[in-house]
Amino acid sequence: MQETSLRNRQRGEGHAADQTTVAKNGRIQTVYSGSRKSDIFFRCYDKYSESGKEEYKGCVRMEVELKGKTSKALWRHIATEGLGTMYLLQTLLYLAEKRGLQVSCVDLDRQDIILPSKPRTKTEVTIGWFATQVAPSVARISAERGWIAAFAPLFHAALHEHDIHVIMSLLSRTWGN
Q: Report pLDDT digits (tens) over 47-105.
A: 888 888 998 888 888 888 999 998 899 988 888 888 888 888 888 888 888 877 777 77
- Decide: 99 and 6 in contact? Cβ < 8 Å: yes
The answer on 152 and 131 residing in a single domain is: yes
Percent of the chain with pLDDT strictly greater than 70: 84
Residue 142 has pLDDT above 50, yes or no: yes
Residue 173 has pLDDT above 60, yes or no: yes
- Decide: 164 and 154 in contact? Cβ < 8 Å: no
Q: Model-level pTM?
A: 0.49
In degrees, to the nearest 5, what angle opens at C-alpha 29 toward C-alphas 27 and 34?
125
Q: Which of 110, 140, 160 is the last residue in one of the domains?
A: 110
Q: Which of 79, 110, 141 is the last residue in one of the domains?
A: 110
Write out the residue range of the structural domain in which residue 127 sits.
Answer: 122-175
Alpha helices per DSSP H over 58-104: 68-81, 85-99
- Cβ atoms within 10 Å, residue 21: 14
Please give the order of strands across the beta sheet that includes 19-24: 19-24, 27-33, 40-46, 60-66
Residue 115 lies in a domain: no
- Decide: 5 and 102 in contact? Cβ < 8 Å: yes
The predicted pLDDT at position 16 comes to: 57
112 compared with 28, residue with greater pLDDT: 28
Give the total number of structural domains in the chain.
Answer: 2
